[in-house]
Amino acid sequence: AQSVTQPDIHITVSEGASLELRCNYSYGATPYLFWYVQSPGQGLQLLLKYFSGDTLVQGIKGFEAEFKRSQSSFNLRKPSVHWSDAAEYFCAVGPNSGGSNYKLTFGKGTLLTVNP
Amino acid sequence: DAMVIQNPRYQVTQFGKPVTLSCSQTLNHNVMYWYQQKSSQAPKLLFHYYDKDFNNEADTPDNFQSRRPNTSFCFLDIRSPGLGDAAMYLCATSRAGGSGYTFGSGTRLTVV
C-alpha cells in the first residue's frame, strides 16, 4: 500500500530565510508525486508535481522540489520565504497510471509559520 | 477559467437533519472525489466517481452518500449529521490519467 510521511508537523522560519519541507513516500513502483498548499479555510492548491524526467521540478510561487528515488523522498524547497507562504503544506503520492481506482494518498501535512 | 466550485462555502445544519453539499466542475474531468478534512489533519477520502461508477472507501460510514447526475455535478449527502461530522468537505476532480487533482475551495460544515 502506498503511504506518505511528512516528519515535521510544524515549522517556523523567519521571512527571507530558506525553507525545506520533508516528504518520504512508500510505493511499489515509480509514483507520481505532488505538493499542495492550503491556506486557512481554503481548498488545496497544486504547487508542483513530478511525473518523470528531470528530478528537480519547478512550481508556482518560487517553490521547487527534488525527487530522490534512492531516498524515497520528494522534499519541497524555497530559497527565500515570504510572509504569504504561511500555510499548511501537503505531500501526496499517486499511481503512475490511470484507471477507475486512481486516487492520491496524502501526508498529514506540515504547518508553516513565518516570523517577520 | 475552468474550475471546481463548491457550494455553499459555509453550511450550518442541525444534529440529525439531512444536508447536501454541492460540487460542480467545468474541467470535464471524468473523476470526482469527496474528501473530509478535520482540523489539522490530512484530507480523508470518502468516495469517488469514475464516470458513473461509484467507488466507496471501506471505512466511509453509511451515513455518507453521493450522487453524480452528470459529468459536471456531484453531491455529498449526509443523511443524519452528528457532531463528529463537523469538518471541511473538499471536492476534487481528476482526468484519471495521473495528472493529479484540482480542488474546490471546500464547504465548512458545522453541526449544532
CB contact, 8 Å: B11 with chain A? no
Compute the nearest-CA separation of B42 from chain A (Å): 5
Around Cβ B55, how many Cβ atoms within 10 Å? 16
- DSSP type of residue B62: T
Task: Tell which wins on pLDDT, A25 or A97.
Answer: A25
Cα–Cα distance measured from residue B85 to residue B78, given in angstroms and rounded to the nearest whole number: 9
Residue of B nearest to A37 (CA): B103
Task: Work out the mean pLDDT of chain B and round it to a whole number.
Answer: 93
Enumerate the residues of chain A whose CB falls inside 8 A of the CB of residue B53. Answer: 100
Q: Examine the pLDDT at A99 and tell me if it is beyond 90.
A: no
Sequential DSSP letters for A45-68 = EEEEEE-SS-SEEE-GGG-EEEEE
Residue range B72-102, pLDDT digits in tens: 999 999 999 999 999 999 999 998 666 788 9
Per the structure block, which three cell numbers stand in for B73?
Answer: 455535478
Torsion angles phi and psi, residue A29, rounded to 5: -135, -175
pLDDT value at residue B97? 63
CB contact, 8 Å: B106 with chain A? yes
Compute the nearest-CA separation of B105 from chain A (Å): 4
Residue range B44-68, pLDDT digits in tens: 999 999 999 999 999 999 999 999 9
Task: Work out the mean pLDDT of chain A and round it to a whole number.
Answer: 92
